[in-house]
Amino acid sequence: MTAGTLPLWRAWCERHGWVDDPGHRKIHGTPIPLAGGLAVFTGMAVVVLGGMAAVQLRLLDPLAVDRLAYGLGRRRTELAAILVGALAMLGLGAGDDRLELRPAAKFAGQAAIALLVAASGVRVTLFVPSVAFSYGITVLWILSVTNAMNFNDNMNGLCAGLGVIGTGWIAWHAASEGQYLVALLSLLVAGALLGFLPYNFPRASVFLGDSGSHLTGFLLAVLSILPHFYSARQAAPSRWAVLYPLFLHAVPLADLASVVWIRTRAGRPFWIGDTNHFSHRLVRAGWSRPQAVLLLWAVALAAGAVTLVL
């Protein structure tokens, strides 16, 4: 669905001037349409709404309908908040693409969306019996992953590829615990991003834009909260399993921490972009841009695989 609608969104962006112009710290010499986020959201939303309609009309296998209907019934409010939050995050990023929002305004918008999701019941607890703590750590997590993915939208294919890998690992863990709705949602996001990648890597005819990177980061953050990485029903339960998402998103989170540290030590605002991301440092070390992206994808895959042996 993403691949099918992307040429339409690309033409729409070109017609309305929704493009990333060449300039400071940019390597492209011509304007590139910012159609990726719109296409990814379309690919995801159409399938979600179509799937919900198929379940309601019982157009699928009866066993599949029963399992999905159970999950939809239990998580109806949460799913509605996730869809609304995804649309809001897409809109916030689009506003930044068009108007270059002030950092405080963008951060406030991200926090408001994260609070909406937390209020719906999608929250991190970390075994701390405090609602205030749960709200705080959930908002912090969503803000961190969203901005980490936004920071990693700095080289063709990097952000989308990391999104595919992260959602793929989430789907694996959810399916292994019988959480089929979460697994399907994760695979859906992975598929939507995969539909975008051929247009963006190794050469880019479209960009995700802030709209797409905000959307990708938000979905990664929220989908990481939904699976039960720890359950007392498991054969050998370990409470440390709740930290698995740190491994699943190790590359973008480590990159975020690294550039914030570098910018803070240099006395610069951490939200002002530079070329100190992992991808940029690899290029300075002699790697080509596609090679740097492929290496970071490989590291992300390996970091996620650690959760299989812990």
- Cβ atoms within 10 A of the Cβ of 155, count? 23
Whether the pLDDT of residue 23 is over 70: the answer is no
| φ and ψ of 228, to 5 deg | -90, 85
Range of the domain at 155: 2-231
* pLDDT band (50, 70, 90) for residue 67: low
In a domain, 121, yes or no: yes
In a domain, 270, yes or no: no
* pLDDT band (50, 70, 90) for residue 242: confident
Summarize pLDDT for 261-272 with one digit per residue, the tens. 999 999 999 998
In a domain, 201, yes or no: yes
Report the mean per-residue pLDDT for the chain. Answer: 89
Percent of the chain's residues with pLDDT above 90? 68
CB of 151 within 8 A of CB of 137?
no
The number of distinct structural domains making up the chain is 1
In a domain, 102, yes or no: yes
CB of 1 within 8 A of CB of 42?
yes
Summarize pLDDT for 183-214 with one digit per residue, the tens. 999 999 999 999 999 999 999 999 999 999 99
In a domain, 119, yes or no: yes
Per-residue pLDDT, 22 = 74
In a domain, 303, yes or no: no
Per-residue pLDDT, 11 = 95
Whether the pLDDT of residue 228 is over 90: the answer is no
| pTM of this structure | 0.91
Q: Which residue type occupies 211?
A: S
In a domain, 295, yes or no: no
In a domain, 82, yes or no: yes
CB of 162 within 8 A of CB of 297?
yes
Per-residue pLDDT, 68 = 66
Summarize pLDDT for 128-184 with one digit per residue, the tens. 889 999 999 999 999 999 999 999 999 999 999 999 999 999 999 999 888 888 899
